[in-house]
Structure 1
Amino acid sequence: MYKLQNDDLLCKKCIFQKEKLFGYIDKKNSVTMATLGPEGTTSSETAKVFKKYIEDINKLADLKINLYDSFELAINEVHKRSADFILLPNAYGKMTNFYWDTTIELGFVFTNKTPEYGIAMLDKKNLYDKPTLTISTCKAVEHLLQELMDTTEFKNKSYEIVEANSTTKSLMLLEDGKVDLALTNDTSLKNSKAYFISNTKYTDVLWSIFMLKTS
């Protein structure tokens, strides 16, 4: 079996970028990471994982997490130097825009398991008589909708999709009474009266951290 060596060309590039990012953190100590919010999104939970990772390595490091309504708003904060890094999943539909942004560079990549995703509801008593249900979801997990709906008692109902910016915003639409059901994750449900009525699903996702390009 082939063993990856430190002088491997691909490995060397990864190590160089990691050392550059970590060196920046070591030098500054107090840094800010921007990502998608609000609290409870998969991005915010993954940011906490990276925060713990960094602060375990460097006891002097203090990584602050700032949450925004979109990744585009988050990267604007990096461009304005109000944040040092942006964290986003490679599964994001507009990820290519970040790779082709010549003002930033890839600093680090890692995999992290997502929370459990499922279809949540608050009150089903008024749903049986509705010919069509409304379901909120963010674009990144919209493809899971039919699969998860098929595990609910409403699997034979037709539905209309209402798009949300994140899994947490999807839940908020349900709590505000704007939709009948919401595709969300279990971290968003922590402080909610909503509950899953479908099977749940998770996966491993590759995450990227970008920083402003330096010479």
Structure 2
Amino acid sequence: MLEFQIEFELHIPTSNNLVIGTLGPAATSSDYASQYIINQLISEEFTVSNQLFDTFLDVKEALLQDKIDLALVPHAYDRINEFYMEPDFELGFIFIYPTPVYGLAKKKDKEAVFNGSRIVTHPAPLPLLKQLLPDTQDQAQIKVDLSPSTSDCAMQVKQGLADFAITNENAAKVYDLEFISTYGNIQMSWSLFQKKRLN
């Protein structure tokens, strides 16, 4: 993995604790990327932590209300324009960092039966579904529902609310699921936003 220097002016809070907000719950791809950024920003002058939210709109509100200092948003998020067009925000920087491996997961003790099954996915990886299903499977016999995050998808399968989830390997491990097929990593680009300073 290539290391990089972050060369933008951080607005460090007086508490000296920089908080990055992004999509949760734990083990989302956004959580994974935030841990990478935290490691890049480690400094003797301040500490860095992350805070996870149910939706990116919650992340946006938290940044507007100064509850977090930075917002980490993947470019796969379909409403990222709301961060770019927010007059109170400025773009800190953009970077590329791959997601964990994505795949189609199920409970370990459950047989993979697709007809009449329910699959949950975050909207972003939905296009992977055709590749993740067996070639012989008719998608018309499967119900697909959308979920706010890859971790929430895995949680629903763990709780028996869905049969399969398109999720990442970190979430699959947290919720004790197994992949029946995998796609691989996604080379994702990310934006880090902060509030504009008042002159």
The residue type paired with residue 124 of structure 1 is K
Matched, 1:155 2:155: no
> Aligned partner of 1:29: which letter?
N
Q: Secondary structure at the match of 1:174?
A: helix
- 1:54/1:61 contact within 8 Å kept: no
For 2:182 and 2:63, the matched residues in 1 are separated by 38
CA 1:138–1:198 in 2, change beyond 3 Å: closer, same or farther? same
Q: 1:145-184: CA deviations, max 9, x gaps?
A: 1111136xx7346211111100000011111111111111
C-alpha offsets along residues 1-26 of structure 1, whole Å, 9 cap, x if unaligned?
A: xxxxxxxxxxxxxx9x94322xx239
In 2, Cα distance between equivalents of 1:50 and 1:71: 18
Alpha-carbon distance in structure 1 between the residues aligned to 2:180 and 2:47: 39
1:103 aligns with 2:88: yes
C-alpha distance in structure 2 between counterparts of 1:18 and 1:97, whole Å: 24
List per-residue Cα deviations over 1:119-144 (Å, max 9, x = no partner): 0011434x54x632210000011111
Instruction: Choose the corresponding residue for 2:97, options 112, 115, 125.
Output: 112
Task: Please give the alpha-carbon distance, in whole angstroms, between the structure 2 residues aligned to 1:114 and 1:103.
Answer: 29
Report how many residues are paired.
192
| TM-score (norm. length: structure 1) | 0.82
Q: Please give the residue correspondences for 1:21-170 in structure 2 after superposition, counting only pairs within 5 Å.
A: 21=10, 24-25=11-12, 29-55=16-42, 58-122=43-107, 123-125=109-111, 128=113, 131-150=115-134, 155-156=137-138, 158-170=141-153
Q: Name whichever structure is richer in helix by fraction.
A: 1
**Structure 2: how far apart are the matches of 1:19 and 1:112?**
18
CA distance in 1 between counterparts of 2:149 and 2:122 reads 5
**1:162 and 1:93 mapped to 2: Cα distance?**
17
Structure 1 CA distance for aligned equivalents of residues 8 and 191 of structure 2: 15
Structure 2 residue matching 1:187: 3-state secondary structure: helix
TM-score by length of 2: 0.88
Displacement over 6 Å in runs of 4+: none
Once residues 40 and 22 of structure 2 are traced to their aligned partners in structure 1, the CA distance between those partners, rounded to angstroms, is: 17
Instruction: Give the whole-Å Cα distance in 1 for the aligned partners of 2:171 and 2:115.
Output: 28
**1:3 matched to which residue of 2?**
none
CA distance in 2, matches of 1:101, 1:167: 26
Unmatched runs of 5 consecutive residues or more in structure 2: none
Residue 172 of structure 1 is matched in structure 2 by 155
Q: 1:27 to 1:110 in 2, by over 3 A?
A: farther
Quote the offset at 1:202 in angstroms: 1.3
Tell which structure's C-alpha radius of gyration is larger: 1
1: distance between equivalents of 2:84 and 2:121? 26
CA contact 1:136–1:170 (8 Å) conserved in 2: yes
For 2:188, the aligned partner's letter is: V
